[in-house]
Structures are given as C-alpha cells and as structure tokens.
Amino acid sequence: MSFNTFGKLFRFTTWGESHGPAIGCVIDGCPPNVAITEKEIQIELNKRKPGQSKFTTQRKEDDKVNILSGIFKGKTTGTPISMIIYNKDMRSRDYETIRNKFRPGHADYTYFKKYGIRDYRGGGRQSARETAARVAAGALAKKVLETKIGKKYKVVGAVTQLGILGCNIKKWNDKFILKNSLFCPDKSMLKIWQKYLLNIRKAGSSCGAIIEIRAKGVPVGLGAPIYSKLDMDLASAMMSINAVKGVNIGSGMNSAQLTGEQNSDEIYQYKNKTNFKSNNAGGILGGISTGQDIIVSFAVKPTSSILSSRKTIDKFGKNTSISVKGRHDPCVGIRAVPIGEAMMNCVLLDHYLMNIAQCKN
C-alpha cells in the first residue's frame, strides 16, 4: 500500500509541493546497466514545463533535473534513482487571499476535510506540479524499454479534442505533433484550435480536452489476469493525472454501441506474422497485450481556476464566493500529453518486467 508510489516492479515515488523548496522522485526496481543521462530526462521534462507558449501558464520554471543516486559512470546500477527539481518561481503571496477559501473543482475542500490541514500555497501537494516528477520517471522508463525492445518501441501522445473542437484522427502525424505547442495531430485544425484557445484565455475561462496516447512495438503478452490487467493499470495510471475524469482503451465508451460483429477484431496470419483487421480492443485482450498498438485516451476536465466568480464556502463553513486570478493554463489537457506518455512508458516497463518474472524465467 503506497499513497505516493506507482508501479509494481518498476516503482516510482514522488514527493514535493507546488511551493515547497523542491519536488522529486525516487525510482526503485530499474534494471541495471542501462545508459541514461540527465539530458535525456530533461528532454521529456521540457515538453511538460510551463511558460513555453501563450497557451499555458506563465509560471516560469526551468524544471532542471538533478540525479542524486543510482547512476554510476553513466549507467543505472540497479539501486534507487533519486531525482530532484528545485522550485524557482514560487510567488506564494498570490495564494494568501485564498488560504481560507475552497476553490470549486479543486481538491481544497477534500484535502482539508481529510487531513485537517493543508498547504494552500498553489495547491501544495494537489498541484499538477507533482507531474514533473513522474515525467522524469517516465523518461527513464522509456529509455529502459528502448534499450530492451529497440527503437521500434515508441510512445506518442496528442490532443484529439480541444473543448468542443475535434480533429480528424486519421490525419495523425507524429512529427507534426511534436512541432506544435498544442500537441495537435491534425495540421488542418491547428490554427482553429489556437484561435479558440486564445479566446478562452482572454475570457478568463477554460476548456477540457481529450488526449490519446499510442504505444507501438509493444510485445504480445504484457499484462496479467485478473487484477493486474494491463488495461487496469493504464486506466489507473491515466486517472492519477490531475483533472482526468474518463479513460478509454481502444474504442472505449463507444464499444457499447457496437455489435459483436463490428467490434470483433478478426485475426489472420500473413508471412509468419499475426495480424488483426481492426483494433477496437486498443491492443489489449483479457488484460494482455496483443502485439497491436496500445491505444489509450482520456478526458481532462476544464481548468477549475477561472476568472468568473463562483459560489463556495470557507474553512469555517461560511458561504462566500471566489474568483481565481493567478497564472493558469486555459486548458490543462495540453500539458497532460507528456504526462500521459510518461505514465504509458512506466506501466509498460512495469508489465514488461512482470512478464519476464512470471513467464520468461
């Protein structure tokens, strides 16, 4: 049982508050002899860090990672890897005005009721700042899997719906996604999305999003019945990301409307390779990977910090109202893309190691 640890064999524990001195993670169970550098970790962290475009919060953070243990002469040693990121831009005064009020949609109320105490500075532990630590863990997981499986292993995420605007998923283009600050996979929608989002920001409002994460090159056999199913752990992983309210595997919620004939992913053998005619299953059957792409999508609710005044109560139980100014993302879903990728990498490595332990010994 572990409140702040994720994973079974490849485990990471995160710690730190939004406005404390630092945040970080400790990774346990990483295989030895994998080459890894701070720079490789930094590349993934840079995808997530704030203040990079006008579409995200203007909080300025380097998110510079330091590795404190577990690496010797550039390689993992099998011992725990401790990584730390110092917080820089901590304008705690911003939060003094809301120290006694519960922001609707945030975890202010529930944290206070559960613990009887809360670090209100920027949300403290409940802040999405925690996700930087797991992106660092995910960068390591990615490197381990690339080392074990090879370069055919690849995880890419994108925003597939921005508020009320969808996109043509068939136009998904890995390279284009990495080049635009909205992680939009469909070139034809980018400008429309940008305009839409700027209007939301100007209005002091916010919107939700749907993010899709795809993993290629995943071997058949990862996952385990009944309560360590790969899709259970992926659903759990994505639901752990701040503001996520729904998770789909493959056709997901839409599966309900399909007939058995439509949903069935027929199988055929071609040139000594097993293929599937479709992928409604999202690459997972019975909780175990099929060898197809793993496809997970999840919905991120709109940022709860908005300009317009909302009714709420304070910690003394008195009715009041609140309007949150500060520096917020108009759509937190955008920065959820590298986080979703990180979680995918971590879950897959965890199951990769579990499969070896149980079935390849």
Judged by beta carbon, residue 74 or residue 175, the one nearer a copy of itself is 74
One-letter amino acid of 90: M
φ, ψ of residue 357 in degrees (nearest 5): -60, -45
> Which of helix, strand or coil describes residue 285?
strand
Cα atoms in the 13 Å half-sphere on the side-chain side of 92: 12
Residue 347, by phi and psi: left (phi above 0), alpha (psi -120 to 50) or beta?
Answer: alpha
DSSP state of 165: B
Cβ closer to a copy of itself: 175 or 226? 226
Task: Name residues contacting a copy of itself, limited to 71-100 (CB under 8 A).
Answer: 72, 75, 77-82, 84
> Nearest-CA neighbor of 11 among 233, 215, 218?
233
Considering only 56, 57, 194, 290, the residue that binds a copy of itself (CB under 8 A) is: 290
Q: How far is the CB of 44 from a copy of itself (least distance, A)?
A: 19
- By beta-carbon proximity to a copy of itself, the closer residue of 45 and 159 is 159
Q: Give SS3 for 269.
A: strand
DSSP code per residue over 85-148: EE-----GGGGGGGTTBPPTTSSHHHHHHHHS----GGGGGGSGGGHHHHHHHHHHHHHHHHHH
Of 190, 252, 293, 326, which one interacts with a copy of itself (CB under 8 A)? 252
127 with 326: CB under 8 angstroms?
no
Q: Is 8 in the site for a copy of itself (CB under 8 A)?
A: yes
Q: Which of 56, 57, 206, 345 lies at the binding interface for a copy of itself (CB under 8 A)?
A: 206
Residue 21, amino acid: P
Instruction: Decide whether 50 or 250 has the Cβ nearer to a copy of itself.
Output: 250
CB of 118 to a copy of itself, least distance (A): 7
Interatomic CA distance for residues 288 and 228, integer angstroms: 9
| Site size toward a copy of itself, by CB under 8 A | 151
**Which residues have CB under 8 Å from 331's CB, separation 6+?**
55, 162, 163, 197, 200, 206, 207, 208, 209, 300, 302, 303
Q: Given the rule CB under 8 A, which of 30-38, 44-52, 167-175, 190-198 is the region that contacts a copy of itself?
A: 30-38
Residue among 92, 96, 258, 325 that touches a copy of itself (CB under 8 A): 258
Q: Which stretch binds a copy of itself (CB under 8 A): 54-62, 135-143, 167-175, 207-215?
A: 207-215
181-200: contacts with a copy of itself (CB under 8 A) = 200
111 binds a copy of itself (CB under 8 A): yes
Helix/strand/coil (H/E/C) assignment for every residue in 56-67: CCCCCCCCCEEE
**Residue 326 binding a copy of itself, by CB under 8 A:** no
Indicate the residue among 32 and 168 with the shorter CB distance to a copy of itself: 32
Name residues contacting a copy of itself, limited to 119-148 (CB under 8 A). Answer: 119, 124-126, 130, 148
Least distance (Å) from a copy of itself to the CB of residue 105? 5
Tally the residues of the chain.
361
23 in contact with a copy of itself (CB under 8 A): yes
345 binding a copy of itself? (CB under 8 A): no
Residue 329, interface with a copy of itself (CB under 8 A)? no
Query: Using the rule CB under 8 A, which residue among 232, 315, 336, 348 binds a copy of itself?
Result: 232
